[in-house]
Chains A and B, each alone.
Chain A
Amino acid sequence: MRAAEFLGEAAFLAAQLPTGEHVINVCTDRYRFAVSLAASLLARKVCLLPPTRTPEVIRQLVAFAPDVFCLTDEDDCDIALPQVRCPPHWPSGVGSQGGSWQVPDIDAERVAAYVFTSGSTGVPVPYPKTWGKLVRCVRDGAARLGLGDGRSHAMLATVPPQHMYGFESSVLLALQSGGALCAERPFYPADVCSALEALPRPRTLVSTPIHLRALLASQVELAPADLIVSATAPLPRELARQAEQRFQAPLLEIYGSTESGQLATRRTARDEEWRLWPGVCLTVEDGRAWARGGHLEQPTPMCDELEPIDAERFLLGGRLGDLVNIAGKRSSLSYLTHQLNSIDGVEDGVFFFPEEPHPSEAGVARVAAVVVAPGLDAARLTEALRQRLDPVFLPRPLLFVERLPRNSTGKLPREALRSLAASTSGAASAGASAIRRVRS
C-alpha cells in the first residue's frame, strides 16, 4: 500500500464527510482507521476518542459535541449516531494516481483530537490534543524506540487504534516514522504469531502485558522479531526477559496516560527506572506527580505514584487512589460507582477492590460491587451496567445485600467490603438462577 494510494483514499473520503465538526472513528481495521483519521484531518474535523463506545458514553459524547458523527468500517455498526462508511473497496481511480504526491500540511496548533478519561462524577473528561504536540510526542517516541533509523519497520499491534496507546503507537507512530502498519489486529496467540511471521523484517510487535503473557504461555513457536513494545500496565521483569529471549528482540516498555500521552520508556529486562521523553519534566507537589513540558499540552497531574530519581528518570510506584486498570483499560472506582447508582432500581451501591492486587498473580484482578437493589436481579443489573461500562469492568463478584456496611459517618470501610466479598453467603438474590447467583 503506497503513500499515493493512502493519500488519494483519504482525500476521497474527506470529501464524503458531513458538515459536523466532530467525529468518532470506530474502524476496527487499522489501515481504514488511518485513512479515516487522515480524511478527518484533511476535512478539518476533530476526532473524539472515548474510552468505550457503550450507549451511555455515546450519549455523553453527543452532549459534548451535538454534531458528532461516526466513521465505521463495519456493515452492522450499532452506534446511535449518523454513520459514514469507510468502504472496503474504493471506486476505481481513487488513490491510483501514480507519480508525484505531496503530504498535506496540517496546522500544528489545531486540535486534532479529544481523548477522554472516566471522571469521578460519572461523565467522561475531555483532553484536547493538538496535531503538533501529538506529532512531536510520537516522533520523539520513534527515536527512542529505534524506529527512526531510515528503515521501514513493519508494525503489528494487538491493541485497538482507538485506545490512546494504540492511537499513538500503532497508527501515528507508523505514519510518522515511515513504517508500515499492519491492518489486522490478531487476538489468539496462534494468530499473533502467524501475523508477525508474515511481516518482512524489521518487524515490531506492539502489545500489552496480558497478550505477552498469553503468547509466552502458549505452546506456539514464536517468530523472531526486531522490537517488542509493551504498555498499559507495568510488565514484570521476568516476563520481559522471557519475551526478549523467545522473540530474540529487545523489549521496550512505554509509560504514559491518556491525559499525558506517552511519557517514558525503559528496557524492562534490564532496568527498573524509566527515562522521560525529551523536554518532559516531573515534579512532585503535595504527594502528587505532575508532568510538564515537551509535548504536553499543559502541566498534567499523573495518576500513579512517580518518584523522580533525577531530571530524566523516575521510579514507578503504585496507582493512586481509586484508579482501576484492567487489561490496560482505565477507569476509577468513583466513576464506576456513579454509573452503578444511576441505574433505575439501585438504591445504594459501590464498586471496590475485593483484595489487594498481587503483581505476581497470573490472573487478572477484577473489580467487585455490592448493591442494594430489591427489585433487580443480577441479569438485569448486569445488562444495565453493560449499557454504561466496558465489559472488563463488570463486577466480579456482584453482591446483593439489604444494606451496605456503612459506618456511623456514612463511609464504607474497605475491610467491611472485603469481608463481604470473602463470604459468599450474603450473595443470594431472590429469583436469580443458579448460574447468576453471585455474578452473571
Chain B
Amino acid sequence: MSNHASTVRQPLAPADTDALIRELAGLIVQALNLELSAADIDSEAPLYGEGLGLDSIDILEIALVVSKRYGVQLRADSAENEQIFRSLRRLAEYITAHRTT
C-alpha cells in the first residue's frame, strides 16, 4: 500500500466531482461577472483562450477565488498547471487533490 503525503486526497466519487464542478462554475461566473449562468458552462470545454475564452486577468481572479475558498495556491511551475485550465473538470480534480478547506 503506497504511503502518500497527507495533501493528496482520494479522488471523489463522480457525484461529488459534479457537485464541485457546479460549485466552481458558480464561483467563476460570480467572480468574473460573466453574462451566463453556471449551468451554461460546458465542463469539458477549455477555460482559457478558446472555449469559455477567459484571459489572464480572469485566471488571476480565479486563482484568488480558489485560494480563498479551497486553500489551494495555484503555481505556474507545477507540471499539472498547463492542464488545470483545460476544463472545469480538470480544475475540479486539481482542487480535490490539493484542497485544505
Contacts and interface: CB of A to CB of B under 8 A. Distances in A.
B60 A214 contact: yes
A387 interface: no
Interface string B42-79: 10010001001101110111011001100101111100
A12 B45 CA distance: 45
Contact of B52 (A187, A219, A326, A435): A435
Nearest to A391: B55
Interface stretch (A169-177, A188-196, A297-305): A188-196
Contacts of B67: 189, 218-220
Given A210-B57, A217-B64, A382-B53, A435 B73 contact: no
B35 interface: yes
A427 B34 CA distance: 14
Interface string A419-440: 0000010010000001101111
Interface stretch (A134-142, A228-236, A392-400): A392-400
Interface residues of B, number: 29
A211 interface: yes
A327 interface: yes
Contact of A214 (B36, B45, B55, B63): B63
Interface string A26-69: 00000000000000000000000000000000000000000000
Contact of A189 (B34, B36, B40, B63): B63
B11 to A, nearest CB: 24
Contact of B60 (A210, A391, A396, A424): A210
A427 B59 CA distance: 26
B33 interface: yes
A401 B67 CA distance: 39
B10 to A, nearest CB: 25
Nearest to A396: B35
A397 B35 contact: yes
A188 B63 contact: yes
A95 interface: no
A191 B59 CA distance: 14
B95 interface: no
A435 B74 contact: no
Contacts of A186: 76
Given A191-B75, A220-B73, A363-B31, 7 more contacts: A188-B60, A189-B73, A214-B61, A214-B63, A217-B64, A435-B41, A435-B42
11 contacts: A188-B63, A188-B74, A190-B75, A191-B75, A191-B77, A217-B64, A364-B57, A394-B53, A396-B34, A396-B35, A397-B35
